[in-house]
Structure 1
Amino acid sequence: MSDYQTLSFEQTGAIARITLNRPDAANGMNATMTRELAAAAARCDVPATKVVLITGAGRFFCAGGDLKDFSSAPSRGAHIKGVADDLHRAISTFARCDAVVITAVNGTAAGAGFSLAVTGDLVLAAESASFTMAYTRVGLSPDGSSSYYLPRLIGIARTKQLMLTNRTLSATEAADWGLVTEVVPTDTLAARADELAEQMAATSAGSNGGVKTLLLDTFGNGLEQQMELESRLIAARAESADGREGVDAFLAKRRADFA
């Protein structure tokens, strides 16, 4: 089920399940975990994988970087740069792959754990989950794409509040702010995540990838550039097997089979 030391990885049909698996260290990110997460992300970036489900083992989703691990490195800066680079490689792969990424936040998401949690295309949170940046509390600055995603999700003012004051958001507050898709009872999070993963596995991976591409580029493009991207992508989808199946199924009044 797993070829990793700090993660568990399970592939069931079109669904890949990744569990951050250092519960005794609050699933803190050390060099091994971010390196393995990047490798797992690359493993998911294939047509056969339509959904990636990311969660944490134990009480924490992820408490951020493993400061004890960082402090023991001969060069803290060089060590943290390598950890961040691997994490960023993983996040970039997840963002640009066709698979729908679901993050199931089962507990505290702090620092890089917060950053990773909100990169999900769909973000589920247990009622007991909480979210805090926590970087400046230890004299560091944000990583894990949070300075990219948070301003786009909640605006600059709220981003500054989270990053400068280290305010902790409950799951409900995170949903109200637009960081979380759905809040569910803690004891039903895993079941709801599996249900959502199965639902998305029945959809078209190419169409989902098109949505992700359009939305990832939208803030960097002008109107005409974005519309040209839209027209090219929808034309490509119309010629694809999934596009043909979807239209034909609609006209025949049957359910599309995107297998």
Structure 2
Amino acid sequence: MSSILLENKNGVAYITLNRPEVFNSFNREMAFLLQDTLDACEKDDAVRAIVLSGNGKAFCAGQDLKEVTSSDLNPGFKKILEEHYNPIITRIRSIKKPIIGAINGVAAGAGANIALACDIVVAHEHVNFIQAFSLIGLIPDSGGTFFLPRLIGFQKASALAMLGDKIAAEEAERMGMIYKVIPFENFDEEVNKLAIKLANMPTKALGMIKELFNKSMTNDLESQLALESKLQIEAAQTEDYAEGVLAFMEKRKPEFKGL
């Protein structure tokens, strides 16, 4: 079986990390396969939303430590970061399609930070998030030091990164780390509903929203306002905008096509 599974259905690409025997921890093969799969989803016009999840009891436990402690297999941390995790994070943030992190089990280390890079993160009540790096003498990577303080604030992020506390999904929602906790028994169903809803929305506009939020991390107010103006003008020229206005005037549900 491939370490990355892909299923396309109803305009949604479902990407599943598939090394359940090691809690979907990353090795070199899986890291490259995920990058290739994300690239394929970006290029496929039939894909209008993406769901990233894991197979089995975990979402992702981070790096496969057997690989980094093996004299034969160890690619070294420079390659692991520059060729594995950094490209994954930049792809997640640059793809102009909404990406749902559907966190089905523990998300630890790089797995936690890959989750937090997604546009909308949902989890069920049995999920835990762990910045596990300091527990083995490392520092957060995979964008953790970028996203975490922006999501939950400097003090809380600093404490979680240093102490490696286990954070339950309910607490993660309360502190703004994730969007929503979904009951375990309804998790797959509700994730599917959310993904299909996004796929049926004006996805060009959603891509622009994503671009604006990315730029807001570094822009000053003047630059952000200028970018809002530029992209709003582009959004107003889309077929979906024309359809949205027409549907509003006709008091019917719009049929967006992502055009």
Q: TM-score, normalised by structure 1?
A: 0.94
Secondary structure of the residue aligned to 2:129 is: strand
- Looking at structure 2, the residues matched to 57 and 75 of structure 1 have their Cα atoms a distance apart, in angstroms, of 24
> Quick one: distance in 2 between partners of 1:219 and 1:18?
27
**TM-fit CA distance, 1:253:** 2.0
Q: Which amino acid aligns with 1:151?
A: P
In structure 1, the residue matched to 2:198 is 200
Return the offset for 1:74: 5.0
Of 27, 48, 52, the residue aligned with 1:50 is: 48
Tell me which of 82, 87, 90 is aligned to 2:88. 90
- 3-state DSSP class of the match of 2:247? helix
Which letter maps to 1:8?
A: L
Equivalent residues of 1:42, 1:90 under 8 A apart: no
Give matches, 1:154-169, under 5 Å.
154-169=152-167
Is the CA contact (8 Å cut-off) linking 2:204 and 2:235 kept in structure 1?
yes
2: CA distance between counterparts of 1:93 and 1:141? Answer: 22
Q: Following the alignment from structure 2 to structure 1, what is the Cα–Cα distance between the partners of residues 203 and 176?
A: 25
> Where does 1:176-255 land on structure 2 (aligned, <5 Å)?
176-255=174-253
2:62 maps to which residue? 64
What are the equivalent positions in structure 2 for 1:120-135 lying under 5 Å apart? Answer: 120-135=118-133
Asked if the contact 1:245–1:258 (Cα under 8 Å) also holds between the matched residues in 2, the reply is: yes
Segments of 5+ residues of structure 2 without an aligned counterpart are none
Shift of 1:116: 1.0
Distance 2:5 2:71 in 1: 26
Gaps of 5+ in 1: none
Preserved contact between residue 10 and residue 196 of structure 2 (Cα < 8 Å): no
- Aligned mates of 1:17, 1:73 — CA distance in 2: 35
The alignment status of 1:36 with 2:30, answered yes or no, reads no
1:101 is matched with 99
CA drift at 1:133: 0.7
Q: What is the SS of the residue equivalent to 1:72?
A: coil
Q: CA deviation at 1:143?
A: 1.2
Alpha-carbon deviation of 1:112? 0.6
- Name the aligned partner's letter for residue 87 of structure 1: Y
Give 1:11's aligned amino acid.
N
**Structure 2: distance between partners of 1:187 and 1:13:** 22
What is the aligned partner in structure 1 of residue 2 from structure 2? 5
**Runs of 4+ deviating beyond 3 Å:** 73-76
TM-score w.r.t. length of structure 2: 0.94
Letter in 1 for 2:158: K
Contact 2:94 2:211 in 1 (8 A): yes
By how many angstroms is 1:28 displaced?
0.5
Q: Which moved more, 1:88-97 or 1:235-244?
A: 88-97
Q: Percent identity?
A: 33
